[in-house]
Amino acid sequence: MVSDTGRTRIADGVVAKIAGMASREVGGVHAMGAGMARTIGSVRERIPGVGVSVTRGVAVQVGERQAAVDIDLVVEYGVAIPDLARAVRESVIHQVEQMTGLEVVEVNITVDDVHLPGDDSRQDDASNDADRPSPRVQ
């Protein structure tokens, strides 16, 4: 973006953060990123002082006036994927265009997985042992 008083360049990482936040705000998005990226990211998140990477699952290309966004999602079971993809696309386009002034020419969405109820295997508390059913065989 060039004006009479100077030039403004918006870095790819800025657009990726905006797109990541806009995607996560949509109900039905469980996580972002493809399999290995999610695995590495979940390990990193357990390290003290390291937060959730807002840009995980987001790739962007930014030009002088336009941006293209690619997003990898994990959706909650039961959510209509076409409706979710439409809502994520609209959210990303709106936020990126509003915050940066760039025209978003495309938002490509890949659904990599479906999160099923009970998939969260993190049961770190011993108190959760009482909630588990007894084994069927011994």
How does pLDDT run across 20-34, given as a tens digit for each residue?
A: 999 999 999 999 988
The secondary structure of residue 51, as a DSSP letter, is: -
pTM (whole model) above 0.85: no
Neighbours of 107 (CB within 10 A): 22
Give the per-residue pLDDT at 38.
44
Q: Look at domain 2-131 and name its CATH class.
A: alpha beta
Give the per-residue pLDDT at 4.
86
Average pLDDT estimate for 69-83: 97
User: 88 vs 135, which has greater pLDDT?
Assistant: 88
Give the per-residue pLDDT at 112.
94
Domain definitions of the chain by residue range: 2-131
* Cα–Cα distance for residue pair 53/33, rounded to 1 Å: 10
Give the per-residue pLDDT at 11.
95
